Amino acid sequence: MREKEKTPIIRSGTPEDNLILAEIEAICFPSEEAAGQETLKERLIAFGTHFYLLEREGKVIGFINGMASDKDRICDEMFEDASLHREDGAWQMVFGMDVLPDCRRRGYAGILLNHLIEEAKKQGRKGCVLTCKEHLISYYEKFGFVNQGISGSSHGGVVWYDMVLCF
């Protein structure tokens, strides 16, 4: 029987988190899809308050992030240009949700996603937007996201599906 785990905490990201986040990103995504250290640092500087890091016993075990935008779909330029972030944007984008493999299947991804959704509501957004691979569509539908079909994004050379959650 596992020793009872302490309740994880969620905090916003800082530019100093870029190294650990890059390590986690490299574990969770194929290299052609993963954001690198410099990209993550640029994003943390531009929209660090939209990075939610999940810590357990002082260690980052996962995170979710994305810019705010007035666009209601993710386009590939958003992944490359953090200056496209609009703090007063109508929509909260989700660029990635990462949970370390040995911490999966414990509800941590859901904790992160629910936190992002609640923060977006508090900030007065119209909703949240993400792209996902086909096998994850049903997972995001459990949170109220609606499949809008194949995305215009070809980030990492992958077929993505647009998912939108309207408040």
Identify the pLDDT of residue 7. Answer: 82
CATH code of domain 9-166: 3.40.630.30
Give the predicted TM-score (pTM) of the model: 0.93
For the chain, give me the number of helices (H) and strands (E)? 5, 9
Rounded to the nearest 10 degrees, what angle do helices 18-28 and 37-47 cross at? 120
Q: What does the pLDDT look like over 87-112, one tens digit per residue?
A: 999 999 999 999 999 999 999 999 99
The confidence score (pLDDT) of residue 6 equals 74
Give residue-wise pLDDT tens across range 66-85: 999 999 999 999 999 999 99
Query: Residue 37 gets which letter from DSSP?
Result: H
Instruction: Give 105's contacts (C-beta < 8 A, 6+ positions apart).
Output: none
CA dihedral 136, 137, 142, 144 (to 10 degrees): 130
The whole-angstrom separation of Cα 127 and Cα 111 is 17
pLDDT at 4: 58
Find the farthest-apart pair of alpha carbons in the chain and give their distance in angstroms, rounded.
48
What gap in Å lies between CA 36 and CA 22, rounded to an integer?
6
Q: Letter for the amino acid at 113?
A: L
Contact 160, 73 (CB under 8 A): no
pLDDT tens for the 167 residues of the chain, in order: 355 567 899 999 999 999 999 999 999 999 999 999 999 999 999 999 999 999 999 999 999 999 999 999 999 999 999 999 999 999 999 999 999 999 999 999 999 999 999 999 999 999 999 999 999 999 999 999 999 999 999 999 999 999 999 99
Confidence at residue 12, expressed as pLDDT on a 0 to 100 scale: 96
User: What is the predicted pLDDT for the residue at 5?
Assistant: 62
DSSP for 97-148, written as a single string: EEE-GGG-SSSHHHHHHHHHHHHHHHTT-SEEEEEE-GGGHHHHHTTT-EEE
Report domain extents, the chain. 9-166
